[in-house]
Amino acid sequence: MSKVRNPDFMEGWISPGLFEIFETAATTAHRLFTRQDVWVERFGQDVLISFKTDAARDFALAGFKGWGIQTGFSARRIFSRFLPRQNAERAAPVLLAGDPSIPLETVVSEQGVRYGLDFGAGYSAGLFIDQRANRARVKTLAPRRMLNTFSYTCSFSVVAALAGARTLSLDLSKKSLDRGRRNFEINGLVLEGHRFLADDVLDVLPRLERRGEKFDLILLDPPTFSLGNRGRRWKVEDQIEDLLRAALELAEPKANILVSTNCTKLNARLLEQMVRFVLKTQRLGADLTREDPLPDFPPGEGAQTLWVQLK
C-alpha cells in the first residue's frame, strides 16, 4: 500500500481509488484530507476534523460532504478538535454531527489488526495513524523480545505480540496501559508473556540494564514535551540522544530500534544527524532506513521516523 500514489482528485483529499484500497486492506483508520491549517481523519464510521481556525474547520466540513458524495462514504458521527499552540490547552474532541447517545468508545482496524478508540478520553482518541508503516515493519521483523517505550495504548506491542514476540510496554499513564491491555484482548491475545509498566521511561531503562535485560526490537517514540517522575521535565530535542544511548545498552546484537518524533524542531535530516552522532560516540555501526511515505499523507506530514539496525 505504501507505494500507491494519490491521483489528482479533489485537492488535498484522497481519491476514491485509494479509499477503496484501504477498504480492501481492512484498514478503517487513515487520513482523508490534509491542509496546513486543518486535516481530516477517518476512524471506522467516524470522522475527526483537527483544525487551527474555525474557518479551516468549516472549509474541511464542506469539503467532506463533497468527498463523501464522490466516494459513497457517509460518517456516523463527525468530531472536531482544536489544535492549540500549547499542550496544556489540548481538549477532547467535540461532536459536530451525529447521534450523541452513541458510546464514545469504538473499534477500528488496520490491516486486520483491531484497536479500541475513545473520543472522550482526551486529546487523542487512541491510535496514531501516521505510524501505520512502522507497525507493519514490526510485524515483518517478527521480534522475539520487544521494548515499547512511551507505549501509549500499546499498538506496537499488539502487532509484535501477534507476530509471536514477548513485549514490555512502558508508559507513565496507567490508564493508557489499561487501554493497551484492552487492545490485546480485542485481538484475542492472552496477557501472559507481556508486561505493562506504568513508570518513567528514564527511570526504568537503567533498571532494565542492571538486570541484564536485552531486546531485539526497541521502540523510541517519545512525546515532544512531558513531565516525568519528581516533576522532571522532558523536551525531546534536548534529551532524545540520551534516550537513545540508554536504549542501546539494552539492545541485542543486530537489534532494530525505531526512533520517532512529532517535534517540529527535529526534521528528518536533523534527526538522522543526532542518531549518527550517538552511534559514533558509542562506537556502533548501523544501517539507517525509513519506510516509504504513506499514500494518505503529504510529504513531510506526520511523525519523523528512522529505523536503526545495529551491525
Q: What is the pLDDT of residues 109-149, one digit of tens each?
A: 999 999 999 999 999 999 999 999 999 999 999 999 999 99
Q: Which residue has the higher pLDDT, 88 or 225?
A: 88
Residue 7 has pLDDT above 70, yes or no: no
Where does the pLDDT of residue 228 fall: very low under 50, low under 70, confident under 90, or very high at 90 and above?
low
C-alpha cell at 104: 464514545
C-alpha cell at 7: 491521483
Where does the pLDDT of residue 232 fall: very low under 50, low under 70, confident under 90, or very high at 90 and above?
low
Looking at every residue in the chain, the average pLDDT score rounds to 92
Alpha carbon 39 to chain centroid, angstroms: 16
C-alpha cell at 100: 450523541
Question: Which are the catalytic amino acids?
Answer: 263
The whole-number average pLDDT for the span 75-86 is 92
Where does the pLDDT of residue 10 fall: very low under 50, low under 70, confident under 90, or very high at 90 and above?
confident
C-alpha cell at 176: 493508557
Q: What is the pLDDT of residue 229?
A: 61
* Segment (H or E) for 139: helix 132-141
Name 185's Cβ contacts closer than 8 Å, sequence gap at least 6.
Answer: 191
Alpha carbon 246 to chain centroid, angstroms: 22
Q: What is the pLDDT of residue 135?
A: 97
Q: Vertex 128, ends 83 and 151: CA angle to 5°?
A: 115
Residue 177 has pLDDT above 70, yes or no: yes
Q: What is the pLDDT of residue 238?
A: 78
The whole-number average pLDDT for the span 250-266 is 93
Q: What is the pLDDT of residue 231?
A: 64
Q: How many CA atoms lie within 13 A of 86 on its CB side?
A: 2
Helices (H) and strands (E) in the chain, counts: 8, 16
Comparing CA positions, the residue from 86, 89, 87, 67 lying closest to residue 78 is 67
pTM above 0.85, yes or no: yes
For the chain, percent of residues with pLDDT exceeding 90: 83
The whole-number average pLDDT for the span 173-180 is 96
The whole-number average pLDDT for the span 60-78 is 95
Residue 44 has pLDDT above 70, yes or no: yes
What are the structural domains, with CATH classification, of the chain? 16-103 (3.30.750.80), 129-310 (3.40.50.150)
The whole-number average pLDDT for the span 245-258 is 97
- CA distances to 59, 144, 276, 309 from 254, rounded to whole Å, are 49, 13, 16, 6
Q: What is the pLDDT of residue 266?
A: 87
Least confident residue range of 34-48, 177-191, 226-240: 226-240
